[in-house]
Amino acid sequence: MRAAPLPPDEAGRIEALLQAGVLDTLPEPVFDDVAALAGHICGTPIALVSLIDDHRQWFKARVGLEARETPRDLAFCAHAILEPGLTEIEDASSDERFSDNPLVTGVPGIRFYAGAPLIVRGGHALGTLCVIDRVPRRLGEAQRAALATLSRHVAAELDLRRQARALALEVAARQRAEAQLRERNETLKSFAYLVAHDLKAPLRGIFGYARELVGLHAAEMGERARHCADQIVAASRSLDSLLDDLLHYASVETETPAWSELDLAAIVDGVLGERRLAIEQLHAEVTKDVSPVRVFGWERGVRQVLSNLVDNALKYSQHSSPPRVHIAAVSLGEAVELRVSDNGIGFDMRHHEQIYGLFNRLVRASDFTGNGAGLAIVRSLLDKQGGRIWATAEPGKGATFVVEIPDHVEKSRMAAGAASTTRSESRAGAA
């Protein structure tokens, strides 16, 4: 008896076999049916889907055989995987490779064997689809062709298992990475909130003392001292604004949206009314095209999103003659779309994703006030509502920010239903 040598691609072959994830699994119709069909077509009492690992052949499907596996050294299939096509042995008792094989001299008494390799992507033969008889025989051409066709079907199924497992592992790895990232983000946000909150009190003290020096003791100070005091006041204001933005950004994650029916036209009017003085000072032309849109949403979140976008539009168009801002709102059925356009400095679309990062700025701080937190807060608010934001822009030709907010009518109904149930239970308890 001669044991089959190892294939040249043995390491890759074993890896591909393990990737399929079928070793030592329960019987499955997709494999059992192919083995039964192969045995029927070839007229043999035994048919197997045999997989060759590093030390055995294991039968994923078997017809007419009790054993679930045999040592690899005894396996006919270990020889068959070395060939690109069908291996057919008419009488194993007269073949020097198998004549003294225990599977020939003992149970199950193999005489005839035909095996088609299961060749998966990458060219690896993981095993065979084989048929066995206890008497010598030969297959006809149609039977050989059918056996080869069925083996390709099994190989395709194994490839699907490999792909599915690879995808599942990738998804699991991504989910773990996302969970770790969320945990780190939550830690960072908590840390940022605590730091910002704890810095506010000493900052107020620094700001107060600096203003006192400038307001009450300016006459007693030299020019350099007054300059330093003015710089302290300016820096304190800037840091206070940055801390406010940081606190606001961190607090968004902990806030639970309250769903209610919104009148977008009223919200737009309210936001513009709050900025009437700034609009007049800039001599800005602000127009709107807001159809009568009512949507169930988070009022504070929508108002804050619109406020930040309008503030940005006014800020970055302030040097235009005149500054122009246009607000539009339209219903999309299951969502509402808000657009805020301006004729300001615009930006290069290559930096589109960058502008939504916390404290990311595309302009010099000396040119425009602010900390670069506004759009990060907008995106965070929209994430809480299941909405999204994108923009179109061109340097020197303004920008248009588009916001899509889902209509949360079902959530509103559920909230109303829960509230009604609570009231009914309360009345029943009182009774």
Span 94-153, pLDDT tens digits: 999 999 999 999 999 999 999 999 999 999 999 999 999 999 999 999 999 999 999 999
pLDDT at 253 over 70: no
Q: Which domain holds residue 192?
A: 179-252
Residue-averaged pLDDT of the chain:
85
166 & 128 share domain: yes
Angle 50-51-55 from CA coordinates, rounded to 5°: 120
d(CA 154, CA 118) in angstroms, rounded, equals 7
150 & 235 share domain: no
Please report the pLDDT score of residue 332 as a whole number.
86
268 & 227 share domain: no
Angle 228-230-233 from CA coordinates, rounded to 5°: 110
14 & 147 share domain: yes
355 & 405 share domain: yes
pLDDT at 359 over 60: yes
Domain-embedded: residue 322: yes
Domain-embedded: residue 32: yes
Span 200-239, pLDDT tens digits: 667 677 777 777 777 777 777 778 887 787 777 777 666 6
129 & 239 share domain: no
pLDDT band at 248 (very low <50, low <70, confident <90, very high): low
Peptide bond into 5 cis (omega under 30): no
Average pLDDT rounded to a whole number, residues 78-96: 96
Please report the pLDDT score of residue 188 as a whole number.
64
> What's the CATH code of the domain at 138?
3.30.450.40
Please report the pLDDT score of residue 422 as a whole number.
47
Task: State how many domains the chain has.
Answer: 3
Cross-strand pairs, 261: 296
267 & 240 share domain: no
The answer to whether the CB of 154 falls within 8 A of the CB of 120 is: no
Looking at the whole model, is its pTM more than 0.75? no
Work out whether strand 335-342 and strand 294-298 pair parallel, antiparallel, or are unpaired: unpaired
Domain-embedded: residue 1: no
Point out the domain boundary residue: 124, 146, 170.
170
Point out the domain boundary residue: 252, 279, 298.
252
pLDDT at 367 over 90: no
> What's the CATH code of the domain at 352?
3.30.565.10
353 & 306 share domain: yes
Point out the domain boundary residue: 144, 170, 196.
170
Domain-embedded: residue 385: yes
282 & 404 share domain: yes
d(CA 86, CA 96) in angstroms, rounded, equals 19
92 & 60 share domain: yes
Please report the pLDDT score of residue 163 as a whole number.
94
